[in-house]
Amino acid sequence: MTTLWCPSCRTEYVAGTVVCADCGAALVAERPPERKRGRHRHEVEGEPRPRDPHDALVAVATVTPMEAELLAGVLRERGIDAVVFGTGLTGYLGAGVSTEGSRVMVRRAEAKRAAALLGS
């Protein structure tokens, strides 16, 4: 029985399969060698590149720290990765109100959807 290999993820396949079910690469007859790791994952051929700068984090709301955590929770429940920046005690006037506010941040690709969910 002939064995084929994925040159990208090194998965073994039986004859009759032509592309890797995991990554879609065309299979080869010889087992690919182990890849050496670079200092950073993206330095190794076939590894993911760093995130696209267009996928940077953007603010979708600037509110009190408590409101920011609640809004981020709503977004996470809807499948949008959200983080909150600016929840420290610096700049507080008292009673949980920040002079600068806390920012709810999401990936740029999800910003419109997030803003719609938050009613921004």
The answer on 36 and 75 residing in a single domain is no
Residue 58 and residue 36 in one domain:
no
What is the pLDDT tens value at each position of the chain, 120 positions in all?
A: 678 888 887 888 887 778 887 777 888 888 888 766 554 444 555 555 555 665 688 889 988 888 989 999 999 999 999 988 886 555 445 554 445 678 898 988 889 999 999 986
Domain span at residue 11 reads: 1-50
Residue whose C-alpha is closest to residue 113's, from 83, 87, 82, 85: 82
Round to whole Å and give the CA distance between 73 and 69: 6
Q: Are residues 20 and 41 in the same domain?
A: yes
CB burial of residue 99 (10 Å; 0-12, 13-18, 19+): exposed
State if pTM tops 0.75: no
- Same domain flag for 69 and 40: no
Helices (H) and strands (E) in the chain, counts: 2, 7
**86 & 29 share domain:** no
Are 57 and 37 in the same domain?
no
Whether residue 114 sits in one domain with residue 85: yes
pLDDT of residue 42: 47
Tokens at residue 14, please? 């039986």
Specify whether 5 is located in the same domain as 16: yes
What's the domain count of the chain? 2
